């Protein structure tokens, strides 16, 4: 099983700042199978990035994904008020599919 470790657990930033979220896999994985989601309280997750770096339909270009091997990153270039939420990474290359523990991006 691929274990995904996200850091930091909480990121305190101001609107307009850059957010860098990390997701580290327990072993090298194909970058074709890493996704990122945003979740707000009481709502289902929203797909942001798939295949490590491809933005999902309708996702603003301030969101970008990168990485390979064991290290993957979600970057939000300039935080908008609606971006404060919890973010999860996911690996889907093999069963079991796995999610990271999440990073909460909160307003500083």
Partner 1 sequence: EVQLVESGGGLVQPGRSLRLSCTASGFTFVNYAMSWHRQAPGKGLEWVGFIRSEAYGETTEYAASVKGRFTISRDDSKAIAYLQMNSLKTEDTAVYYCTRGGSHFTYWGQGTLVTVSS
Q: Can you give the three-state secondary structure of the chain, one letter per residue? A: CCCEEEECCEEEECCCCCEEEEEEEEEEECHHHEEEEEECCCCCCEEEEECCCEECCCCCCCEEEEEEEEEEEEEECCCCHHHCCEEEEEECCCCCCEECCCEEEEEC
> Is the Cβ of residue 13 or residue 47 nearer to partner 1 in the bound state?
47
Residue 26, token pair as written in the block:
């327990």
- Closer Cβ to partner 1, 14 or 57, answer by number: 57
- Summarize as ranges the residues that interact with partner 1 (CB under 8 A): 1, 33, 35, 37, 39, 44-47, 50-51, 56-57, 88, 90, 92, 95-102
Which CB atom, from 17 or from 55, has the smaller least distance to partner 1? 55
Beta carbon nearer to partner 1, 44 or 81: 44
**In the complex, what is the shortest distance from the CB of residue 103 to partner 1, in angstroms, rounded to a whole number?**
10
CB 20 within 8 A of CB 62: no
CB of 1 to partner 1, least distance (A): 8
Shortest distance, position 51 Cβ to partner 1, whole Å: 8
Least Å distance between CB 101 and partner 1? 5
């Amino acid at each position: 099983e691929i274990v995904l470790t996200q850091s930091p657990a909480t990121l305190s930033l101001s609107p307009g700042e850059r957010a860098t979220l990390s997701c580290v896999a327990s072993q090298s994985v194909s970058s074709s199978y890493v996704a990122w989601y945003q979740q707000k309280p009481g709502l289902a997750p929203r797909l942001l990035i798939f295949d490590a770096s491809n933005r999902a339909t309708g996702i603003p270009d301030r969101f970008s994904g990168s990485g390979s091997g064991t290290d993957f990153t979600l970057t939000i270039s300039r935080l908008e008020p609606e971006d404060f939420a919890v973010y999860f990474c996911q690996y889907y290359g093999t069963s079991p599919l796995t999610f990271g523990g999440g990073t909460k991006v909160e307003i500083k």
